[in-house]
């Protein structure tokens, strides 16, 4: 940005200003800045697309330990502003061929090539993008093919399911497919509704340009839905579609009011449009766990839904005990969604409830070997308990030795020292891609020996046949843990299950919201608990001390458990989302439900995954500690309705 401003000034002045900018930026560094300090400043300059400062800082690191990243951060902002030459980029890719950072830079370059429409170079480079994990790049790739006359409509429909990930690449793809008639009006309106539903308004507005509707009308439906609803559906496809979108936007604040509008004005809509309207209302109602949401979903009949819509229709049917609706909805899901382990399990349960026992057993058998929440539940549906399989032969010194020489692992450790965990994880995981089970076990043991337990867990989790559960479910600081859990009567396995999810045993872990330590305590929570238990002279800098963190974390967890009737699923949810939310969620239940149904229908995506993972972890830890088979279903128990009463817990 700074460089562009410079170029707009007269040449002599521009030169002076541009060369002054890096000097100003460097003044922010301490006088005795170390190479590591300069490297971190270089990373920040690249993140800010400040190419002039990045170039100046990179020049100060001629012999830095991670030379490839110095070159990457120097080049990245220039790729983004299109000032980097093709030869410079190719030189980087050749010099660091086969490395994680080369693949990362190729990702950056593909995005720039797609935005610029340089399809010749894009098509040459795309097959070399190893990870291929960028939705926008995938959209550009389909767009390139579509522009050459290939029919990619089905692939695009399967890809275009999460508007928040789209970016320019996916909006361009929608535009191309609309213009060359691979997408008809139904496809375009599906994308508009889906984007409006997800709050991706820019995506919706760009797609709307390819209907007979202008941007202003759509903007009115999203920004002032009450006005659109008050006028009624009007006539024609566009008016009806905008009315449906307005219903969804209004339902985010008041589902019942939106339902009243549809009930009153729905007669002017076709049966299919009415079903889509109810779907727009049912989803936000579900996110509020409104009891009437299930009635709205039933009115959607066989309407085509978004991925979120299908999933929430099943969740609300589970809460209502409507197994027929569970089954029919899962069967109507797109294949990629239907094959998810979550819906494989619940389809099996629905078939079981309908007397299709043989079909149900096949569903459970297909996923029972999966080391996860639903794999465990499927195992129990097959009449077995959760056990720890025999461990493999431990990795030998000869197997571990090559790991110490692995250049990617060396870079990862350097990044961990710099507290650049994202970059470290990227380097570490890149090296795991082609490893077999024995190599993965050796890499995991190498991580253990270097006290990088999160990488040990992640690496060992990847083995398929040789499974070392002592690596997957470590129990460091067991003496200190037992000293804190035993007086409280708190189950140690559950606490370890929570820590494994919270921090992966990173002692100095710090979340984006400020939670710290093994048990990821927020400063306010730590102060509250310290006061409650009489921990005098407590200061926030003690949170990362292992003994203090475990003392405060287990004490708080015990308080939450007592506040929620001793239910581990509820207390786990409370630890993540705050005690008030699970109390509110259970108050919306019309009847007692299985703990698994309660967990699956938690409205917060993070908390939903968190509860399932913690409860699954705890079951494995219990099997390790007790040396006997366990039941996840028993641990989950049932969650019964109860009034949402206030709590003084933070």
Other C-beta atoms closer than 10 Å to the C-beta of 479 total 7
Residue 264, classed as helix, strand or coil, is: helix
Same domain, 547 and 446: no
**Residue owning tokens 């009891």:** 291
- Nearest-angstrom CA–CA distance, 436 and 446: 15
Q: Which CATH number do you get for residue 24? A: 1.25.40
Which residues touch 74 (CB under 8 Å, ≥6 apart)? 42, 46, 54, 55, 58
Strands, E assignment, 326-475:
none
Contacts of 531 (CB under 8 A, 6+ apart): 538
The answer to whether residues 447 and 506 belong to one domain is no
Burial class (CB in 10 A: 0-12, 13-18, 19+), 597: buried
At 227, list the tokens: 């006005």
3-class DSSP state of 328: helix
Whether residue 639 contacts residue 586, with contact meaning beta carbons closer than 8 Å, is answered with: yes
DSSP state letter for 542: G
Distance, in Å, from the CA atom of 442 to the CA atom of 213, rounded to the nearest integer, reads 60
Q: List, in sequence order, every residue forming a beta bridge with 386; answer none if it has no partner.
A: 630
CB 592 within 8 A of CB 356: no
Alpha-carbon span 562 to 128, nearest angstrom = 55
pLDDT computed for residue 513 by the predictor: 77
277, 269 contact by CB (below 8 A): yes
Structure tokens at 34: 């170390």
Cα–Cα distance for residue pair 151/37, rounded to 1 Å: 51
The pLDDT value given to residue 215: 57
pLDDT of residue 574: 97
Q: Which of 472, 493, 513 is the last residue of a domain?
A: 472
Q: What is the CATH number of the domain that holds 424?
A: 1.10.1240
Count the neighbouring beta carbons within 10 Å of the beta carbon of residue 9. Answer: 13
Which run of H or of E encompasses 276? Answer: helix 271-287
Q: Is residue 188 part of a domain?
A: no
Same domain, 552 and 467: no
Q: Report the b/e string of 367-392 with b at 16+ CB within 10 A.
A: bbeebbbbbbbbbbbeeebbebeeee
As a whole number of angstroms, the distance between CA 471 and CA 441 comes to 8
Q: How far apart are CA 292 and CA 282, in angstroms?
A: 9
Could you tell me if 110 and 13 lie in one domain? yes
Q: What single DSSP character describes residue 162?
A: -
Q: Which two tokens stand for residue 463?
A: 């083995």
Task: Flag whether 501 is in a domain.
Answer: yes
pLDDT value at residue 578: 95
| Residue 49 resides in a domain | yes
Q: Which helix (H) or strand (E) holds 638?
A: strand 638-639
Assigned domain for 322 exists? no
Q: Indicate the number of domains in the chain.
A: 3
Q: What is the DSSP string of 145-159?
A: HHHTT---HHHHHHH
* Same structural domain, 483 and 627: yes
DSSP designation for 593: E
Q: In the block, which residue shows the tokens 């045993």?
A: 505
- Of 97, 66, 424, 133, nearest to 110 (Cα)? 133
Distance CA 312, CA 291 (A): 13
CATH code of residue 630: 1.10.530.10
Verify that 518 and 623 share a domain, yes or no. Answer: yes
Residue with tokens 């040449």: 11
Q: Can you tell me the distance from the alpha carbon of 2 to that of 17, in angstroms, rounded to the nearest whole number?
A: 9
DSSP 521: B
How far is Cα of residue 638 from the mean position of the Cα atoms in its chain? Answer: 27
Query: From CA 344, how far away is CA 348, in angstroms rounded?
Result: 6
Instruction: Kindly state whether residues 497 and 466 are assigned to the same domain.
Output: no
- ∠321-327-330 over CA atoms, to 5°? 115
- Domain assignment present for residue 361? The answer is no
Same domain, 460 and 518: no
Q: Is 541 exposed, middle or buried (0-12, 13-18, 19+ CB in 10 A)?
A: exposed
Q: Is residue 539 part of a domain?
A: yes
The crossing angle, in degrees rounded to 10, of helices 437-449 and 453-460 is 170
| 411 falls within a domain | yes
**Among candidates 128, 190, 185, 189, which has minimal Cα distance to 158?**
190
Q: What integer pLDDT is reported at residue 21 of this predicted model? A: 38
Burial bucket for residue 615 (CB in 10 Å: 0-12, 13-18, 19+): buried
Q: Is there a single domain that holds both residue 542 and residue 466?
A: no
Last residue of a domain, one of 105, 128, 151: 128
pTM: 0.93
Query: How far, in Å, CA of 161 to CA of 155, rounded?
Result: 11
Token pair belonging to 413: 């450790």
pLDDT recorded at residue 514: 84
- pLDDT tens column, 154-176: 999 999 999 999 999 999 999 99
Cβ atoms of 209 and 218 within 8 Å: the answer is no
Whether residue 7 lies inside any domain: the answer is yes
Contact indicator for 438, 462 with CB cutoff of 8 Å: no
**For residue 508, what pLDDT is reported?**
84
Provide the pLDDT for residue 560: 97
- Shared domain for 517 and 611, answered yes or no, is yes
Burial 200-236 (b: 16+ CB within 10 A, else e): bbebbbbbbebbebeeebbebbbeebeebbeeebeee
Please give the Cα distance from 292 to 269 (Å, whole number).
22
- Give the torsion sign (CA, 456, 462, 468, 470): positive
Would you state the pLDDT for residue 19? 32
Phi, psi of 593 (to 5 degrees): -130, 160
Interatomic CA distance for residues 277 and 266, integer angstroms: 9
Tell me how far apart the alpha carbons of residues 247 and 408 are, in angstroms, rounded to a whole number: 52
Residue 498: the pLDDT is: 98
Please tell me whether residues 584 and 461 are part of one structural domain: no
- Structure confidence at residue 214 (pLDDT): 56
End-of-domain residue from the set 100, 128, 156: 128
440 and 532 part of one domain: no
Q: Which domain holds residue 494?
A: 478-639
As a whole number of angstroms, the distance between CA 114 and CA 123 comes to 10
Q: Which residues of the chain have pLDDT under 70?
A: 1-27, 213-216
């Amino acid at each position: 940005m700074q460089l562009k401003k410079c170029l707009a000034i007269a040449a002599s002045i521009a030169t002076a200003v541009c060369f002054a900018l890096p000097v100003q930026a460097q003044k922010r560094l301490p006088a005795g800045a170390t190479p590591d300090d300069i490297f971190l400043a270089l990373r920040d300059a690249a993140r800010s697309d400040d190419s002039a400062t990045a170039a100046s800082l990179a020049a100060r690191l001629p012999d830095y330990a991670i030379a490839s990243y110095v070159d990457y951060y120097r080049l990245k902002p220039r790729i983004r502003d299109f000032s980097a030459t093709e030869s410079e980029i190719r030189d980087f890719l050749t010099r660091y061929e086969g490395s994680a950072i080369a693949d990362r830079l190729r990702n950056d370059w593909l995005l720039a090539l797609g935005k610029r429409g340089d399809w010749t170079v894009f098509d040459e480079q795309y097959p070399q993008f190893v990870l291929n994990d960028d939705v926008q790049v995938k959209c550009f790739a389909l767009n390139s093919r579509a522009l050459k006359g290939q029919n990619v409509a089905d692939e695009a429909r399967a890809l275009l399911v999460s508007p928040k990930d789209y970016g320019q690449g996916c909006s361009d793809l929608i535009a191309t497919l609309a213009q060359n008639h691979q997408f008809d009006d139904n496809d375009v309106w599906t994308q508009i509704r889906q984007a409006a539903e997800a709050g991706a308004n820019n995506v919706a507005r760009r797609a709307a340009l390819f209907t007979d509707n202008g941007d202003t009308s759509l903007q009115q439906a999203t920004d002032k839905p009450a006005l659109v609803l008050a006028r009624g559906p009007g006539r024609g496809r566009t008016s009806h579609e905008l009315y449906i979108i307005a219903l969804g936007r209004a339902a985010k604040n008041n589902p019942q009011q939106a339902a009243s509008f549809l009930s009153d004005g729905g007669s002017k809509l076709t049966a299919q449009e009415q079903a889509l309207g109810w779907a727009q209302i049912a989803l936000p109602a579900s996110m509020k766990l409104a009891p009437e949401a299930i009635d709205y979903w039933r009115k959607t009949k066989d309407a085509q839904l978004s991925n979120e819509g299908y999933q929430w229709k099943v969740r609300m049917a589970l809460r209502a005990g409507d197994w027929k609706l569970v089954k029919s909805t899962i069967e109507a899901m797109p294949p990629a969604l239907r094959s998810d382990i979550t819906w494989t399990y619940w389809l099996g349960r629905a078939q079981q409830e309908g007397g299709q026992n043989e079909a149900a057993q096949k569903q459970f058998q297909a996923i029972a070997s999966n080391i996860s929440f639903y794999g465990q539940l499927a195992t129990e549906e097959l009449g077995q308990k959760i056990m720890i399989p025999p461990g493999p032969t431990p990795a030998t010194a000869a197997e571990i030795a090559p790991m110490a020489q692995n250049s990617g692992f060396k870079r990862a450790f350097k990044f961990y020292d710099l507290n650049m965990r994202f970059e470290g994880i990227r380097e570490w995981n890149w090296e795991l891609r082609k490893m077999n089970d024995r190599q993965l076990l050796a890499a995991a043991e190498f991580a253990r020996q270097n006290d990088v337990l999160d990488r040990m867990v992640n690496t060992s989790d990847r083995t398929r046949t040789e499974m070392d559960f002592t690596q997957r479910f470590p129990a460091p600081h067991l003496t200190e843990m037992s000293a804190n859990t035993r007086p409280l009567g708190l189950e140690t396995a559950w606490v370890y299950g929570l820590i494994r999810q919270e921090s992966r045993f990173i002692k100095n872990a710090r979340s984006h919201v400020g939670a710290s330590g093994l048990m990821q305590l927020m400063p306010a929570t730590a102060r509250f608990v310290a006061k409650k238990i009489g921990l005098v002279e407590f200061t926030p800098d003690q949170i990362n001390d292992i003994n203090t963190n475990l003392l405060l974390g287990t004490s708080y967890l015990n308080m939450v458990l007592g506040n929620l009737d001793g239910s581990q699923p509820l207390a786990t949810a409370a630890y993540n989302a705050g005690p008030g939310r699970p109390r509110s969620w259970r108050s919306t239940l019309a009847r007692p439900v299985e703990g698994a149904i309660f967990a699956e229908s938690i409205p917060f995506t993070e908390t939903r995954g968190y509860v399932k993972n913690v409860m699954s972890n705890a079951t494995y830890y219990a099997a390790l500690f007790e040396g006997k088979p366990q039941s996840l279903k028993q641990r989950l128990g049932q969650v019964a309705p109860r009034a949402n009463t206030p709590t003084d817990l933070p």
